[in-house]
Amino acid sequence: MKKLTLNSILISLALVLSFVERFIPLNLLVPVPGLKLGLANIVTMFALFYLDIPSAITITVLRCVLASLIFGGMSSLIYSLSGAFFALVIMIILKLGYEKAFSLVGISMGGAAAHNSGQIVAASLMMKNTAIFAYLPILLITGLVTGILTAIIAMNLFLVFDKNNRVKY
């Protein structure tokens, strides 16, 4: 029961984050479709590190579905789901080497790059055209920047949680 509640809270938190980042006009800076900060990934990383893989999957999938029901659309659901799926797989793999080979920064950067690649693959399949792959380099480089940013936020968050040792269920 406690797990259900915690997961629900995390889903709503992820939803709020993906709603808030829509108001940050990154697209005016770099007008590329699919560009975003990826703040909701902080929640996914939290679930991966403090809860378990099934929770992380549930939170991510439900966040994508709810976000596209509220402010996206059918096509945005397919893009965000495929991006989130690729990102989760890569982050689960990279997490195996956590503290030995990778820090949160590497995991977050890898997740961001996987998210962008997944989105582009889905978009090119939907539009049946590979031209959209020309956007991938810009997305990968901006993903490095946003990946480092979200990793810094997540690190500080994790430090607070470790100090208080509050997450137990």
Partner 1 sequence: MRLKLRYGDFIVFLVIVLVAALLVAAFYQNDTNQKTAIILQNNTVIERVDLTRISQRYLINYYGEYPGTIEVNNGKIRFLSAECPDKVCVNTGWIDKPGQMAVCLPAGVIIKIEGVQTDTDIIVK
Query: What sign has the CA pseudo-torsion 62, 60, 162, 147?
Result: negative
Binding pattern for the stretch 43-82 against partner 1, x by CB under 8 A and - elsewhere: ----------------------------x-x-xx--x---
By the rule CB under 8 A, 31 interacts with partner 1: yes
In this complex, which beta carbon is closest to partner 1, that of residue 7 or of residue 84? Answer: 84
| Of the residues 141, 145, 160, 167, which one makes contact with partner 1 according to CB under 8 A | 141
Binding pattern for the stretch 97-136 against partner 1, x by CB under 8 A and - elsewhere: x-xxxxxxxx--xx--x---------x--xxxx-xxxxxx
Q: Are the CB atoms for 50 and 160 separated by under 8 Å?
A: no
Which residue in 28, 18, 25, 9 sits closest to 115, CA to CA?
18
- Which whole-number Å values give the CA distances from 124 to 82, 136, 164, in the listed order? 12, 11, 45
Bridge partner list, 98: 102
By the rule CB under 8 A, 86 interacts with partner 1: no
